[in-house]
Structures are given as structure tokens and as C-alpha cells.
Amino acid sequence: MVVVTGRNWRAGAVLAAALVVAACSTSPKAPVAGPGEYVVQPGDTLYRIASRAGRSPGDIARWNNLQDPDKLEAGQVLRVVPPGGAGSSEPPPSRERPERPERPERAERPRPPRASAPEPVAPPASRRSDWTWPSQGPVIAGFNGTSSKGVDIGGSLGDPVASIGAGKVAVTETLRGYGSVVMVDHGGSYMSIYTNLRAVQVKQGQQVKQGQKLAEIGSSDGTRARLHFEIRYRGNAVDPRQYLPAK
């Protein structure tokens, strides 16, 4: 043990204080999300972040130039609104007073701007001729928009599950209680979601055609073999039976 006395004590105290200040100044600061941004938390996935923000994983990956959306790091800051959309900052208006003309002409009374109609959460339901059912089994549970965001289609283990239309695979992951999950981005803010799968045969970023096999019907958490299927428009669930051929 070393005992510091006299001038050495003062020098040691100064050195200790300097080390404390240096440690505080070099400690990393926690990232802060600005308007329209989100800080990735441990355990987050792109699918979960997109669901909370009401966006598609493909849009968020594109806005943030994510090369591999499966590799997110805790503390990473992501944009969750379109560039130039809500949350973007604009320069403040100039405070300079405009020069007054010597002989002002008769000014017309300014007309108030017309309020633009709010964009609908979901478009009017209409059947899509370019879409088909993902599985041939019967619908055993319907859509209600609250406790059920889609439909359950009955079947047997191993029955094929196909893409309802052409698109790009946005997500392939496994979630507890949902089994394997596949999401296909069809463009126009539409996305189809397939859960309770096994033997997934596509990869994220892959282009698929209508009727192309994505996976097989599985059984998660000991439930009966079935496919849970959803259609989302701008992140909001809509009734698949209003868009697919009558069944």
C-alpha cells in the first residue's frame, strides 16, 4: 500500500480528478431518436419495428439503406417515416419585412387553401384478379379487425402455401407462437403475411410469382395444422376475403 503525503498528495488528487473528467467525457452517449426516427432495442426485428410504425419492412429497409435487414444492432437509429415526410425539418421562414411598393395595387383577398381530403387507411375493398388464395383448405376462423387480424385456413401438415400474387419477399423469420413467418411486399403499400409455417423455401429479397410455393403448413405451440394469413395495407390489417376470389 502506498501512502501519498504533502505535495505528492496534491498532485495525486489533481491526477485523479483529471482521470474522472476524462472518463466522463469519453463515456458513450445513449442514442436519441429525432422526429420520425426509432432507436433499435435489444431483441427488435425489422418486422416488429415496421408493425409498430404502421409501415412495411421493405419501406424501412429502403429508407435506411439496410443491406441486410436481419442484422440490426441495439442503439441503431432508423428512419420510420418517408424522407421529406412527417418528422422532417424545414427551414424557418424569413423574418425580414418585405419592402412596401410606392403605389400598392388593390390586393385581392387571399383565399384559404383547400383542405386536402385525408388519405384513407384502406382503399375500398375490391377483388383482385391477380391474386389467389394461398392454400386450398377451408376458412376456419374469420377476420374481425381486433382479436383476429386475418383468417385461419385449415389443412394438413405439409400442405403447400403459395404466394397470393407477384411480389418481393420482405421478411422470413421465426416468432414464438407464430412459427415461421413469411411476408411478401406486393407494391402499392400492400403486403401479405403467412404464419404458422414450416419448411420455408424462399429467402428475403427474393422475387416470387403468383402461386409460387413459399412454405408448408405447420403447427406451432401444439395447435392444429392451419395457416394464419393476413393482408396489410400501409401496415393496417384488412379483410382478405374482400380481396381474394370468392370461396
83-131 tens-digit pLDDT:
876 544 343 444 445 555 556 556 556 565 554 445 455 566 678 889 9
Within a domain: 41: yes
Q: How do residues 8-47 score in pLDDT, each as one tens digit?
A: 445 444 444 444 444 444 445 677 778 888 998 887 888 8
Within a domain: 115: no
Within a domain: 44: yes
Within a domain: 19: no
Most confident by average pLDDT, 15-24, 73-82, 193-202:
193-202
Q: How many CA atoms lie within 13 A of 24 on its CB side?
A: 6
Tally of domains within the chain: 2
Q: Are 197 and 218 in contact (CB under 8 A)?
A: yes
CATH of the domain at 210: 2.70.70.10
CATH of the domain at 72: 3.10.350.10
Q: How do residues 202-232 score in pLDDT, each as one tens digit?
A: 999 999 999 999 999 998 766 789 999 999 9
Q: Please provide the average confidence, as pLDDT, over all residues in the chain.
A: 78
Q: How do residues 137-184 score in pLDDT, each as one tens digit?
A: 999 999 998 889 999 999 999 999 999 999 999 989 887 777 899 999
Within a domain: 123: no
Within a domain: 196: yes
| 74 and 163 together in one domain | no
Angle ∠(229,164,138) on CA atoms, nearest 5: 50
Q: How many angstroms separate the CA atoms of 239 and 170, rounded?
A: 21
| 238 and 144 together in one domain | yes
Q: How many angstroms separate the CA atoms of 226 and 197, rounded?
A: 9
Residue 49 scores a pLDDT above 80? yes
Q: Are 183 and 166 in contact (CB under 8 A)?
A: no
Question: Which residues form the domain of 230?
Answer: 139-242
